[in-house]
């Protein structure tokens, strides 16, 4: 609990500081069009990240390093709780000017995209399907976050969450 | 505590505005310089150029890719560094702002809090409480001011004590002088009577002289007793035993004793009052006696009852009271009479006050004086236990 409060205090302080002193506002990511349903023992979770990748992010994603977005999906019924983690891994080819995006929740499907907008849309889209034996109601909770990456000759670590102002977007859906 | 927009608030707001503006300016300047540098570096676009090299020399394609990756990594590192600096600078600036504001508030509170204490202490002094001392704290200037204030309150207290002492002494002197005078007055005829008795010891008229002299001595001793009784009555705490009664009947009972000396005319409507009956008697007899003394025997005395105003006016047609004396007549030991110690009307005032009534006097020199007693409202009585002589 105290960890959560501390995190919120830090986020609030940073937001206040940015508002007061900086013209840089960062991104304000959130999940839109989130929905989850269960049909014939198959659960489907869909959500789209909004305001997650602006031009600032493009430079990072074009660095040639693989950059991942972490998704944590929690399925909670009265009997059990299941936590599944996925990543969207993106890598840029500067010579071909294309992005290669691998989405783990889509059975590790890999897309090659040559447009930034298309890449941003594909990277924002979360689509997960799974057979299950959980009894309804099921509470579906999805949280996205960014990892720490190491760059440069000095192997300097950067927390990518800074681009999201340390705010983790989440959505909560209950399947009845 | 109630918030008031004062000097302290103005200083804090001013500090906050100036400090924040300063921080914003410094930050903006640094950020603009960082962005200039960043734009210089990111404007390097070698993708197209390297693409051409890779197409023309496929054997160097991997090298070109590696070079571009390296360049992009450098750009990304600068971008990351830039953003980290922006965010963390803002975070630390907020911390600095909060910390400095806290320190500033503490400092300003330390400086201005003694002012509030000064204000409170000055209010106490204004109320007459000189026994107040400020605790010396804060900077040396404040300590000096507090020391001066404490010295002032000590001096004021001492002066007040001296004044009280002087006033007491003055009252005692006046009292002693008057008491001596009043005692001396009857002592002279007593001494003269005794001397006459001794002188006529062997005279044929001794019997006649004896009767006259003893009569004088007895009369003067009675006067001395009355004097002692007057002083005693004025000094002691008077017990109060209020009862409800109708004023007219009591007045008639009291005036009966004066019928042979003065003409008394009573007008107006009767009403009930709550008063100590003995006190009522003392008040009226003192005022009557005062009026008779002033106007002389055989004069007319008018008593007017006002049931609406709940007042009794006692009017004489004597010489009246001089304007400069009218405010002193209820003061103890003030008298213009040859015989008298000035306690009669002072006692009247005292008895009136303890019975929750008030007495005032109006006078026109040469035309007479009016004493007006205003009685308080009668309380509602449940069960009638307090009823007495109420018809």
| Phi/psi-derived region of residue B378, left when phi > 0, alpha when psi is between -120 and 50, beta in every other case | beta
For testing contact with chain B, the best of A10, A14, A15, A95 (most B CBs within 10 A): A95
Judge if B120 and B217 occupy the same domain.
no
Q: How many domains does chain B have?
A: 3
Residue B208 lies in a domain: yes
Instruction: Note the pLDDT of residue B179.
Output: 75
**Cross-strand partners of B354:** none
Distance of CA B212 to the CA centre of its chain: 59
Judge if B231 and B261 occupy the same domain.
no
End-to-end Cα distance, chain A: 29
CB contact under 8 A, B23 and A59: no
Instruction: Note the pLDDT of residue B386.
Output: 43
Judge if B61 and B98 occupy the same domain.
yes
The candidate with the shortest Cα–Cα distance to B307, out of B375, B388, B252, B372, is B375
- Give the class (CATH, top level) of A2-175: mainly beta
Q: Which residues of B touch A22 (CB under 8 A)?
A: 27, 31, 86-87, 89-90
Minimal CA separation from B109 to chain A, in Å: 26
Indicate the residue among B218, B235, B252 that finishes a domain: B235
pTM of the predicted structure, to 2 decimals: 0.50
Judge if B220 and B279 occupy the same domain.
no
pLDDT single digits (tens) B217-259: 888 888 788 778 777 776 777 778 889 999 999 898 888 877 7
Judge if B281 and B228 occupy the same domain.
no
Structure tokens at B267: 């007008």
Instruction: Note the pLDDT of residue B246.
Output: 93
pLDDT single digits (tens) B115-165: 888 888 999 988 888 888 888 887 788 888 889 999 999 999 999 899 989
Residue B389 lies in a domain: no
- Angle of helix B61-126 relative to helix B140-199, nearest 10 degrees, comes to 10
CB contact under 8 A, B20 and A22: no
Q: List, for chain B, all residue ranges whose pLDDT scores fall below the cut of 50.
A: 382-391
Instruction: Note the pLDDT of residue B312.
Output: 95
Judge if B21 and B105 occupy the same domain.
yes
Residue B317 lies in a domain: yes
Size of interface A-B (CB pairs under 8 A): 110
**CB-nearest partner of A17 from B31, B68, B93:** B93
**CB-nearest partner of A94 from B65, B79, B90:** B65
CB contact under 8 A, A97 and B47: yes
ipTM here:
0.72
Give DSSP secondary structure letters for B232-282: HHHHSPPP--EEEEEHHHHHHHHHGGGTTTSEEEEEE---EEEEEHHHHHH
Q: Which domain holds residue B345?
A: 242-374
Instruction: Note the pLDDT of residue B388.
Output: 42
- Contact (CB, 8 A) for B239 and B254: no
Residue B168 lies in a domain: no
Compute the distance between CA of residue A119 and CA of residue A93 in angstroms, rounded to an integer. Answer: 13
Q: Which residues of B touch A158 (CB under 8 A)?
A: 77, 80-81, 84
User: From the DSSP assignment, how many helices (H) and strands (E) are in chain B?
Assistant: 8, 7
Instruction: Note the pLDDT of residue A153.
Output: 67
- What residues of chain B have any CB closer than 8 angstroms to a CB in chain A? 20, 23-24, 27-28, 31, 42, 47, 50-51, 54, 61, 64-65, 68-77, 79-81, 83-84, 86-87, 89-95
Q: List, for chain A, all residue ranges whose pLDDT scores fall below the cut of 70.
A: 1-4, 20-25, 55, 152-154
CATH of residue B259's domain is 3.30.565.10
Instruction: Note the pLDDT of residue B385.
Output: 42
Residue B347 lies in a domain: yes
Cis upstream peptide for B165 (omega within 30°): no
**Cross-strand partners of B373:** B312, B359
Which residues touch B259 (CB under 8 Å, ≥6 apart)?
A: none
- Contact (CB, 8 A) for B67 and B74: no
Instruction: Note the pLDDT of residue B266.
Output: 93
Residue B161 lies in a domain: no
- Can you give the residue ranges of every domain in chain A? 2-175
What is chain B's mean pLDDT, rounded?
82
The candidate with the shortest Cα–Cα distance to B262, out of B292, B234, B236, is B292
The Cβ of residue A104 has, within 10 Å, a number of other Cβ atoms equal to 17
Judge if B15 and B119 occupy the same domain.
yes
- Contact (CB, 8 A) for B196 and B208: no
CB contact under 8 A, A95 and B50: yes
> Which helix (H) or strand (E) is B369 found in, with range?
strand B368-374
């Amino acid at each position: 609990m105290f960890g959560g409060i501390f995190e919120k205090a830090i986020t609030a302080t940073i937001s206040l500081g940015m508002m007061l002193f900086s013209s840089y506002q960062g991104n304000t990511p959130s999940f839109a069009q989130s929905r989850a349903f269960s049909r014939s023992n198959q659960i489907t979770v869909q959500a789209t990240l909004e305001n997650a990748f602006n031009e600032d992010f493009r430079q990072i994603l074009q660095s040639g390093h693989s950059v991942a977005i972490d998704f944590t999906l929690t399925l909670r019924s009265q009997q059990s709780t299941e936590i599944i983690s996925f990543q969207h891994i993106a890598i840029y080819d500067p010579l071909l000017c294309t992005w290669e995006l691998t989405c783990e929740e889509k059975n590790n499907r890999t897309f090659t995209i040559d447009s930034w907008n298309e890449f941003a849309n594909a990277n924002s889209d979360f689509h997960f399907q799974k057979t299950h034996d959980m009894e309804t109601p099921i509470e579906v909770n999805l949280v996205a976050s960014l990892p720490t990456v190491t760059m440069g000759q000095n192997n300097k670590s950067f927390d990518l969450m800074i681009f999201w102002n340390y705010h983790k977007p989440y959505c909560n859906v209950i399947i009845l | 505590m109630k918030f008031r927009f004062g000097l302290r608030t103005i200083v804090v707001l001013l500090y906050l505005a100036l400090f924040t503006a300063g921080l914003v300016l410094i930050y903006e300047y640094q950020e603009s310089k960082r962005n200039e540098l960043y734009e210089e570096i990111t404007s390097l676009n070698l993708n197209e150029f390297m693409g051409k090299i890779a197409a023309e020399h496929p054997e160097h394609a991997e090298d070109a890719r590696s070079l571009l990756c390296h360049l992009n990594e450098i750009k990304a590192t600068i971008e990351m560094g830039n953003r980290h600096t922006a965010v963390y600078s803002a975070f630390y600036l907020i911390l600095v702002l909060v910390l400095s504001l806290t320190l500033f508030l503490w400092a300003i509170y330390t400086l201005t809090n003694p002012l509030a204490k000064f204000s409170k202490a000055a209010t106490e002094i204004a109320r007459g409480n000189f026994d107040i001392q400020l605790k010396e704290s804060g900077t040396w200037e404040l300590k000096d001011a507090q020391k001066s204030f404490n010295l002032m309150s000590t001096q004021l207290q001492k002066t007040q004590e001296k004044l009280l002492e002087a006033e007491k002494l003055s009252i005692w002197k006046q009292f002693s002088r008057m008491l001596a005078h009043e005692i001396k007055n009857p002592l002279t005829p007593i001494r003269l009577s005794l001397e006459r008795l001794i002188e006529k010891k062997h005279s044929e008229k001794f019997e006649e002289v004896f009767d006259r002299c003893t009569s004088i001595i007895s009369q003067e001793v009675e006067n001395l007793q009355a004097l002692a009784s007057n002083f005693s009555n004025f000094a002691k705490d008077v017990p109060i035993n209020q009862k409800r009664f109708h004023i007219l009947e009591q007045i008639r009972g009291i005036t009966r004793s004066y019928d042979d000396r003065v003409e008394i005319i009573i007008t107006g409507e009767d009403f009930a009052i709550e008063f100590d009956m003995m006190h009522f008697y003392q008040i009226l007899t003192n005022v009557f006696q005062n009026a008779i003394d002033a106007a002389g025997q055989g004069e007319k005395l008018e008593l007017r009852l006002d049931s609406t105003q709940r007042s009794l006016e006692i009017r004489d047609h004597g010489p009246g009271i001089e304007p400069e004396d009218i405010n002193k007549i209820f003061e103890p030991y003030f008298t213009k009479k040859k015989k008298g110690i000035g306690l009669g009307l002072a006692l009247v005032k005292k008895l009136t006050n303890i019975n929750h009534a008030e007495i005032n006097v109006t006078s026109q020199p040469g035309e007479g004086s009016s004493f007006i007693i205003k009685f308080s409202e009668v309380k509602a009585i449940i069960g009638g236990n307090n009823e007495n002589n109420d018809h």
